[in-house]
Amino acid sequence: MNLSTFNFQFSILIINGPNLNRLGLRKPEIYGSKTMAQILLDIQRQWPDVHFVYRQSNHEGDLIDWIQEANGELINGDATLNDVAGIVLNAGGYSHTSVALRDAVEESEVPVVEVHISDISKREPFRRTSLLTDVCAHSIIGKGTDGYQEAVEWLLENK
């Protein structure tokens, strides 16, 4: 099924956490050589009728605010995210440490798909557990940067 032939009237929010602004530069042997700009371009080309909103921050509270905004909550009196049908979340290191982020995902009425570029089960012991997996609608782990496309596809197929 070619999902790009449908006319979608919603947005998919892609959120990246700490250090993911360095994709393509940081440890390419683990995270690959594609930049996030290249990944986003590939996604938009694959689904031209879907509106994608991309956010990245090295600050935990920003990620929580964006998830809450996607659920229609006003943050600082500003509602900037409307009609979000799904969230693709690569929380980076916060996946393993942030109970607050887990709580925001758990409360989300918008489905959240967790993405890990590397296979966290084969990484250092402190990276092997994600606090997000059991509160996300779906998880994609160890598929490289193609995991972002797979996450979008999952959201579109399960809308």
How far is Cα 92 from Cα 76, in angstroms, rounded to an integer?
A: 25
How far is Cα 7 from Cα 98, in angstroms, rounded to an integer?
A: 36
* Residue of 31, 54, 94, 138 with catalytic role: 31
- Could you please report the per-residue DSSP string of 17-39? -TTGGGTTTS-HHHH-S--HHHH
The distance of Cα 139 from the centroid of its chain, to the nearest Å, equals 10
Q: 59 an active-site residue?
A: no
Q: Could you tell me the two tokens for 17?
A: 């956490």
* Residue of 54, 116, 138, 148 with catalytic role: 116
Strands of 51-56's sheet in order across: 51-56, 11-16, 84-90, 112-116, 138-141
Three-state DSSP at 118 gives: coil
Q: 116 an active-site residue?
A: yes
Confirm if 151 and 138 have CB atoms less than 8 A apart: yes
Q: Please identify every residue annotated as catalytic.
A: 31, 116
